[in-house]
Structure 1
Amino acid sequence: MSSVFNTSRLEGKTALITGASAGIGAATALLFAKTGTNLILLARRADNLAQVKAKAEAIYNEAGKKDAKVVVIEADMQKNEDLDAVLSKTQGLEVDILVNNAGMVKGVEQVGADADIDQMFNTNVRGLIHLTQIFVKEFKKRQTGTIINLGSIAGREPYAGGAIYCATKHALSAFNGALLRELVNTPIRVIEIQPGMVETEFSVVRFRGDKGKADSVYKGLQPLVADDIAEEIVWTASRPPHVNIAQLFVLPVNQASATLNYRSS
């Protein structure tokens, strides 16, 4: 672990990560595990969550952190009843860091089908806000807490073929900015990470399972990977309590905007 991470600030704390079953969420969980942070992993796919839990526990064991805990919560960000039950399933762990990583995109159609629109807004916006409200109340009671929202370059600039996804990420960015201002009289930190091109299964979902089309998005350049964004998430969480990285925009070196990039032949 690089010295840039002050692990003493994270050891013994608890991070709840949504969308923790794969991609950026799973990578973030494993990096937090290396700092000795307890984990609450939330996602829909129980089998994947079990695999991430096993990997995190192996990291704890190798580091001699026998007291560190991993709690798995199977939940759907689209269902408020699942999110309302989260506090009762933390097995006594008090959450210090909420990482709102869960998010998805369906299709590249112009505007798209109503079912896809509902799924994107319910997951990326409504579910995120609902869960955040639950933990803002808890953080206010304890006068501590860090909220990290995973935004996107799509929340900075819209692009053709991404109308609804861009709308959800613009909404997330607006929510993050408003929440930052609303909590300015508290010690609660509010952070938004905005990645550019990141190669995960995210694009496979966007292209409805067509891996060939998903791979073509990154052809000719080196995109970011899940571990790159996990580093930024854990780094922002590890800053001194009086330091808040309100917004962090992260691109691969050959990307300059949502639609401007350089690809080798």
Structure 2
Amino acid sequence: MVRTALVTGATSGIGAATVRALAGAGWQVVATGRRAERLDALTRELPEGQVHTAVFDVTDARARDVAIDALPEAFRGIDLLVNNAGLALGTAPAQEAKPGDWETMIATNVSALVAITRRLLPRLVERRGGIVNLSSVAASYPYTGGNVYGATKAFVRQFSLGLRSDLAGTGVRVTSIEPGMVETEFTTVRTGGDKAASNKLYAGADPMTAQDIAATILWVASLPPHLNINALELMPVSQSFAGFQVARD
């Protein structure tokens, strides 16, 4: 039986790499995102008929529901939900942060993730499927300027564990993937398009790649159905835990 995955935020980075990895392993994939031209380009890379694109912003409830309702019959049986869509905005400390940035992160990383998960849960239960939620090491290790971003990822981690509890006996597997430094568009988006800041962050660090995380997601999805990875934290070897801060006069 051909399995079907739905991947949010598939227009770049980890999301696009996950679509490629799953499709390469024989999965059908529903690739979602806001940028139609990027989804179209991704589809052209892969065998015809293997990927269905759905263009919508995950924070737009109506567009999200319309796209899910409009899935072709061959793609309606979702076996795997990969909640990848998310972002960080701003690096300022809390007292200087923009409230609008906070609201956008909560709407995208928390509210939209919860809504699409709830919408697809009956299908996932019916097919004894799986959910992979993209959290972050920021869920566990706070850092200056991480404030709401880290809090949203801590929510994702705890929500994943809560789903595991509620879904006991259904056969549905749930995993929280918690990466550290991955070189994608993440920092460029976070800094409002400052490519130089992104280059500086990753320079000489040998960070993880989107392909590294996609391969991990594929591994989790390919495990025997009796085995669940609850949470998986990954870092490049060059990255370690930050030290405690001490403010001095």
Q: TM-score category by the smaller chain?
A: over 0.9
TM-score by length of 2: 0.92
Corresponding residue for 1:166? 150
Map Cα deviations across residues 183-237 of structure 1 (whole Å, 9 max, x no partner): 1121000011100000001110011101011111112210001000000000000
Following the alignment from structure 1 to structure 2, what is the Cα–Cα distance between the partners of residues 169 and 72? 26
Corresponding residue for 2:247? none
Map Cα deviations across residues 20-43 of structure 1 (whole Å, 9 max, x no partner): 011000011011111110010000
Amino acid at match of 2:113: L
Amino acid at match of 2:15: G
Shift of 1:69: 2.3
TM-score by length of 1: 0.87
Spell out the pairing of 1:65-214 with structure 2 (5 A cutoff): 68-92=49-73, 93=75, 94-111=77-94, 112-140=97-125, 142-214=126-198
Map Cα deviations across residues 113-168 of structure 1 (whole Å, 9 max, x no partner): 1211111111100000000001112222x141100001100111211111010011
SS in 1 for 2:189: helix
**Partner residue of 1:48 out of 38, 47, 50:** 38
Which aligned segments of 4 or more residues in structure 1 are displaced greater than 6 angstroms? none
Following the alignment from structure 2 to structure 1, what is the Cα–Cα distance between the partners of residues 135 and 53? 24
Stretches of structure 1 that go unaligned for 5 or more consecutive residues are: 1-10, 61-67, 261-265
SS in 2 for 1:48: helix
| Superposition CA RMSD, Å | 1.3
Corresponding residue for 1:263? none
Corresponding residue for 2:225? 241
Shift of 1:48: 0.5
- Check conservation: 2:132, 2:176, Cα contact below 8 A: yes
Residues matched between the structures, number: 239
Stretches of structure 2 that go unaligned for 5 or more consecutive residues are: 244-249
- Residue identity over aligned pairs, in percent, reads 38
